[in-house]
A and B are shown apart, each in its own frame.
Chain A
Amino acid sequence: MKIAVCIKRVPDMESRFKIAASGTAIDETGLKYDISDFDAYAVEVALQINEKAGAGETTVICLGPDAVQETIRKALSMGAEKGVQLRADAVPADSLAIARALAAELKDGGYELILFGKHALDTMTGGAGTMAAELLGLPCLTAASRLEVTGARATARRELEGAAELLEFPLPAVVTIDEGIARPRYPSLKGIMAAKKKPLDVKPAQLGSVRVSVEKMELPAERPPGRIVGTGPDAVPELVRLLQTEAKVL
């Protein structure tokens, strides 16, 4: 089937972040970037659906500056057939603007299934997928931990606190993907070679008016150093008191 996967390029979350001089963004110097984890799961899900069907086409779409082409190539080296870059100087903080640009690209693509990660690892807004679904007038299901397609319908599982629900819906639809659904494959050397020759279209991102912007970004306060209350059984009453009154965890 024709599947679109919308992916985002995000910094390695284990980096040591600094705030840029502007005060509204992180300093990108020296950061390593990769496809956002949930988006990589979504790519894997799309590849598996089409492999199981024995036919199909997966297109990955990524919004951002030219650096995102590397991220698109990675998805192509995993096995996606086509890539589209929606070129923008930066990814705006306005999820609706992002959704608008994506919806404009998705609208006439004839996709039967549109996948997103449930949220991007860096901003964690999780808005673009649901908003794009609304703009496209498609059913939307968030945080799927399992997804199966049968003909023109699909079923998905969502994990709830202490329970799970199974949902059924018609295609085309927008589904955002949770972790645990599939382990993203490593690109094989053949895949890396093949990715070079796969089509990667570059188009301007039709963001429309961007109404939300970051005013200020700050790092979390440093954690105060730990305290040793005492040693041995004598220290227990004081420890319990502090856990109750100060840490408020008991």
Chain B
Amino acid sequence: MDDALYFSEQHLAVREMVREFARDEVAPVAARLDADAKFPWANVKRMGELGLLGVPWPEELGGAGLDLVSYMIVIEELAKVDASHGLTVSAHTTLGTSPIVHFGSDEQKRRFVPFLASGRVMGGFGLTEPDAGSDAGGTRTTAVRRGDRYVLNGSKRFITHGSVGEIFVVTAVTAPGQGTSGISSFILTKPTGDPDGAKAVGIGHEPSLPAMRGFRAGKKEDKLGWRASDTAELIMEDVEVPAENRLGEEGRGFKNFMRTLDAGRIGIGALSLGIAEGAFDEALKYTAVRKQFGQPIARFQGVHFQLSDMATEIEAGRHLVFHAAWLAQNGKPFGREAAMAKLFCSELAMRTTIKSLQLHGGYGYTKDYPIERMMRDAKICEIGEGTSEIQRIVIARSLLKDLLD
């Protein structure tokens, strides 16, 4: 890709820094963290210090004040080496922080965003429920107004940072029977579920955040991939939430999280792209040194075809991701392009990791090489933050909007 099309000198400096960080700090620990399903507290602390946990937020809110393209570069470069680190940044920033930045009152922003943007505590977003995933309208969690508070009941599933995190935006039904217009969102806080891990590095817990009674993490998921990323259930039992913690007006919850998901899709696109690029780099390195029939297998035409296809598709994916980011950055409509970037790159990540593993032969199937981890990490990209099928529906809706309405 011609770097000048989307990237300034500053973007390249950001890329260089994150690339070095990923190579020196993330790559050496990625396999271990994956095997142990351990949240990377030490690196999360470092990422916070470098500004990577609040890339696009204004400096007055504790962010780095960079643009969306820089933010995508950060996710992409981390995911090249380890998808879990990329997801930690993406889920924390887009899902955990952006709803407060975009829809919060000045008071809410001042109170919560600096803790998140600096990496003081981890944040998350509670949308998916046992009976509401792709159909977010099926939300069962309820919020009943009682004086100056709401009482929340329900549970949320597959919540990134559900256990380790402290600040969450969750959706709940405030007006039953009104479908998606009856959904509102709230800011909930709880102490981290991993106080020892947090204590060891000196971040992850902020004593001034209220421990809301009845709000806690449930089961931590044991996953195929993204194993160093924390995924858990969130349980709410008669949680009393002050009305000042309601995010935006009542009934705006659904509309708001649709916007959050639109932006999140570019992030998962960048993450998927990173996985594909990392898998391709591994294929390139391996086929150049692996000898069969007296020569490196990269000399065989069959391997050329594979490498060329991978590289070409990756190039296409980069344009989709950075074009969508550029549109969003420049205030243009980007929903369709974001869905296209997410759809194409998540499937690209799956295809590329499978091809790369095949080129590695039996070695690729072992834990001695990172490619099997990359393949496991790729699969969820086709599912999380809107399945591939949902992306196709989003794209089709935008194509047919004027024709069928």
Residues of chain A at the chain B interface (Cβ within 8 Å): 70, 73-74, 77, 186-190, 192-193, 195-196
Given the contacts A193-B64, A193-B65, A193-B66, A188 and B14 also touching, CB distance less than 8 Å: no
Q: How far is the CB of B150 from chain A (nearest CB, A)?
A: 37
Q: Are B65 and A187 in contact (CB under 8 A)?
A: no
Q: Please give, as numbers and ranges, the residues of chain A lying within 8 Å of B236 by CB-CB distance.
A: none
Q: How far is the CB of B53 from chain A (nearest CB, A)?
A: 10
Interface centre among A70, A188, A189, A192 (most CB of B within 10 A): A189
Interface string of B39-79 (1 = CB under 8 A from A): 00000000001111001000100001110001000000000
Q: How far is the CB of B141 from chain A (nearest CB, A)?
A: 36
Given B13, B59, B64, which contacts A74 in the complex, CB threshold below 8 Å? B13
Q: Please give, as numbers and ranges, the residues of chain A lying within 8 Å of B49 by CB-CB distance.
A: 188
Given the contacts A193-B64, A193-B65, A193-B66, A186 and B21 also touching, CB distance less than 8 Å: yes
For residues 1 through 51 of chain B, which have their beta carbon under 8 Å from a beta carbon of chain A? 9-10, 13-14, 16-17, 20-21, 49-51
Closest CB pairs A-B (n = 7):
A189-B51, A189-B64, A188-B50, A192-B13, A188-B51, A187-B17, A186-B17
Given B9, B16, B20, B50, which contacts A189 in the complex, CB threshold below 8 Å? B50
Q: How far is the CB of A102 from chain B (nearest CB, A)?
A: 25
Given the contacts A186-B20, A188-B51, A73 and B13 also touching, CB distance less than 8 Å: yes
**Bound Cα distance A192, B11 (Å):** 9
Q: Are A193 and B17 in contact (CB under 8 A)?
A: no
Q: Are A196 and B10 in contact (CB under 8 A)?
A: yes
Q: Please give, as numbers and ranges, the residues of chain B lying within 8 Å of A70 by CB-CB distance.
A: 9
For this complex, 19 residue pairs linking A to B, each with C-beta atoms less than 8 Å apart, are A70-B9, A73-B9, A74-B13, A74-B16, A77-B13, A186-B21, A186-B50, A187-B13, A188-B51, A188-B64, A189-B14, A189-B64, A189-B66, A190-B59, A190-B64, A192-B10, A192-B14, A193-B66, A196-B10
**Bound Cα distance A101, B13 (Å):** 28
**Bound Cα distance A73, B12 (Å):** 12
Q: Please give, as numbers and ranges, the residues of chain B lying within 8 Å of A74 by CB-CB distance.
A: 13, 16
Q: Are A189 and B55 in contact (CB under 8 A)?
A: yes
**Bound Cα distance A10, B52 (Å):** 28
Interface centre among A187, A192, A196 (most CB of B within 10 A): A192
Q: Please give, as numbers and ranges, the residues of chain A lying within 8 Å of B20 by CB-CB distance.
A: 186
Q: Please give, as numbers and ranges, the residues of chain B lying within 8 Å of A193 by CB-CB distance.
A: 10, 64-66
Residues of chain B at the chain A interface (Cβ within 8 Å): 9-10, 13-14, 16-17, 20-21, 49-52, 55, 59, 64-66, 70
Q: Please give, as numbers and ranges, the residues of chain A lying within 8 Å of B70 by CB-CB distance.
A: 189
Q: Please give, as numbers and ranges, the residues of chain A lying within 8 Å of B17 by CB-CB distance.
A: 77, 186-187, 189, 192
Q: Please give, as numbers and ranges, the residues of chain B lying within 8 Å of A192 by CB-CB distance.
A: 10, 13-14, 17
**Bound Cα distance A178, B49 (Å):** 27
**Bound Cα distance A194, B64 (Å):** 11
The closest CB in chain B to the CB of A195 belongs to: B13
**Bound Cα distance A70, B55 (Å):** 22
**Bound Cα distance A192, B20 (Å):** 14
Q: Please give, as numbers and ranges, the residues of chain A lying within 8 Å of B9 by CB-CB distance.
A: 70, 73
Q: How far is the CB of B3 from chain A (nearest CB, A)?
A: 13
Question: What 9 new A-B contacts, CB under 8 Å, besides A73-B9, A188-B51?
Answer: A74-B16, A77-B13, A188-B49, A188-B50, A189-B14, A189-B17, A189-B66, A190-B51, A193-B10
Q: Please give, as numbers and ranges, the residues of chain B lying within 8 Å of A187 by CB-CB distance.
A: 13, 17
**Bound Cα distance A41, B52 (Å):** 23
Q: Please give, as numbers and ranges, the residues of chain B lying within 8 Å of A77 by CB-CB distance.
A: 13, 17
**Bound Cα distance A188, B49 (Å):** 7
Interface centre among A186, A195, A196 (most CB of B within 10 A): A186
Q: How far is the CB of B113 from chain A (nearest CB, A)?
A: 16
Q: Please give, as numbers and ranges, the residues of chain A lying within 8 Å of B14 by CB-CB distance.
A: 189, 192
The closest CB in chain A to the CB of B24 belongs to: A186
Q: How far is the CB of B369 from chain A (nearest CB, A)?
A: 19
**Bound Cα distance A106, B1 (Å):** 42
The closest CB in chain A to the CB of B59 belongs to: A190
**Bound Cα distance A186, B18 (Å):** 8
Q: How far is the CB of B14 from chain A (nearest CB, A)?
A: 6
**Bound Cα distance A188, B10 (Å):** 12
The closest CB in chain A to the CB of B12 belongs to: A70
Q: How far is the CB of A100 from chain B (nearest CB, A)?
A: 31
Q: Please give, as numbers and ranges, the residues of chain B lying within 8 Å of A189 by CB-CB distance.
A: 14, 17, 50-52, 55, 64, 66, 70
The closest CB in chain B to the CB of A196 belongs to: B10
**Bound Cα distance A70, B64 (Å):** 21
**Bound Cα distance A76, B51 (Å):** 17
The closest CB in chain A to the CB of B51 belongs to: A189
**Bound Cα distance A188, B65 (Å):** 12
**Bound Cα distance A196, B10 (Å):** 8
Q: Please give, as numbers and ranges, the residues of chain B lying within 8 Å of A190 by CB-CB distance.
A: 51, 59, 64
The closest CB in chain B to the CB of A70 belongs to: B9
**Bound Cα distance A77, B16 (Å):** 12
**Bound Cα distance A189, B54 (Å):** 10
**Bound Cα distance A195, B10 (Å):** 9
Interface centre among B13, B14, B16, B70 (most CB of A within 10 A): B13
The closest CB in chain B to the CB of A73 belongs to: B13
The closest CB in chain A to the CB of B20 belongs to: A186
**Bound Cα distance A116, B190 (Å):** 50
The closest CB in chain A to the CB of B8 belongs to: A196
Q: Please give, as numbers and ranges, the residues of chain A lying within 8 Å of B10 by CB-CB distance.
A: 192-193, 196
